[in-house]
Structure 1
């Protein structure tokens, strides 16, 4: 019998064991494993701490000394400004949800609308926040792939909405079959290009927008498990099963 004899018995009837890695190889593997574990945790903790300190630096000067715990304690308490900012936004949302609040808001927007430069800035920012944060918005609910920048090359995009307004009007009858997509860049998916693509050329993906964003950020290194995804999609309650899988890790 010919072929690989590495697993055949040697002298004494024992199998030949593979050589053990050297000390430097084991040390490198341990270091890389520790870096993979500690790197994301450290960066996440640093960014979270930086955001908390940044918000505290903005909000704490406006908190009365009697309500600021830093006045009574010998050390600063992080996160007080973040809590106050959260409560303040909740109060603002509550006040503007009633008739009096909406009336006051409309007068304020009318005043801003009379300011030449401020009105353009405010209207643009308001539209962005409403599009991104409003629950009624359907933007970026699906990930897809299109051929870009030429046939044969494929890029991940986020489906925004159908062509509307002047764009749809200028496209004429074809505008009804054109959808707007956002093409993110790597490794920063917050920048990219707005493209109007025929709907027939857009291939929707089963992965979520978050999974597609991870794929873009990692330059293709972090890809969702497609076999597990197909199995979840085949279950009778696929959306519920997918949510359970995401919650479980």
Structure 2
């Protein structure tokens, strides 16, 4: 029985990561393939080739992103984007949603932004209990006016699904900045501490 149990767990360790990876990739490709519906029916790959080949939606999405990025990088494109932002900002309800999403995306995807570029240790959910979090910025405006010391805005992800979590404002002196990369910290969180990041302090010696 001990040997059977060992073989069972070994089989799970081999199969489960591959199955989950294939499932996630299949979901991503299937979702992006839905972008093909924006093409005229006569231009769709399924109609032209006579069979369905997954992945054309990924290529179309990349082409659209590159085209939009190229167009928005020049003077005329930036003016057009500014005009579109001004129009949306005049629409009730829509402007509040759009402005919030735009601020988050600008912070996350900007090359000069610092969001999710630093992993820190913080005491959560109580003093004496530590977890890994990510710095998202610093408090400003009215919130900063009420805080006497220097604070950081951090995101504390949940395990094993890091897409959910908690936003907390922590005193900077209570945060311990880590040398590990964000990718290594995410692996550590998702694996519930099983996959430990490499010890950079030993590598420096």
TM-score (norm 1): 0.76
1:81 lines up with 2:52 in the alignment: no
**Residue in structure 2 matched with residue 134 of structure 1 by the alignment:** 110
Show the counterpart of 1:215: 188
1:46 aligns with 2:29: no
Matched with 1:62 is: 38
| 1:200 and 2:173 are equivalent in the alignment | yes
Q: Give the secondary structure class of the aligned counterpart of 1:116.
A: coil
Matches within 5 A, 1:87-126: 87-126=63-102
The one-character-per-residue Cα deviations of 1:95-123 (angstroms, maximum 9, x if unpaired) are: 11111111111111111111011111111
Aligned to 2:126: 150
Would you say how many aligned residue pairs link Structure 1 and Structure 2?
205
CA RMSD, 1 decimal = 1.8
**Which shifted more, 179-188 or 91-100?**
179-188
* C-alpha distance 72-148 of structure 1, shift in aligned 2 (>3 A): closer
The alignment status of 1:188 with 2:164, answered yes or no, reads: no
Say which is worse superposed, 47-56 or 180-189, in terms of deviation. 180-189
In the alignment, the residues of structure 1 paired with residue 185 and residue 45 of structure 2 have an alpha-carbon distance, to the nearest angstrom, of 43
Among 173, 179, 193, which residue is 2:152 paired with?
179
Write the distance in 1 (CA, Å) between the matches of 2:128 and 2:27: 43
Per the TM alignment, residue 125 of structure 1 is displaced from its structure 2 partner at its CA by 0.9
Q: Does 1:162 align with 2:145?
A: no
Q: How far apart are the structure 2 equivalents of 1:134 and 1:151?
A: 34
Where do 5+ consecutive residues of structure 1 fail to align? 1-23, 235-249
* Residues in 1 aligned to 2:9 and 2:107: alpha-carbon distance in whole angstroms: 41
Cα shift at 1:179: 1.6
User: Which of the pair has more CA radius of gyration?
Assistant: 1
Between the aligned partners of 2:183 and 2:99, the Cα distance in structure 1 is 28
Query: In the alignment, what sits opposite 1:230?
Result: 201
Structure 2 unaligned runs (5+)? Answer: none
- CA drift of 1:94 comes to 0.8
Secondary structure of residue in 2 paired with 1:183: strand
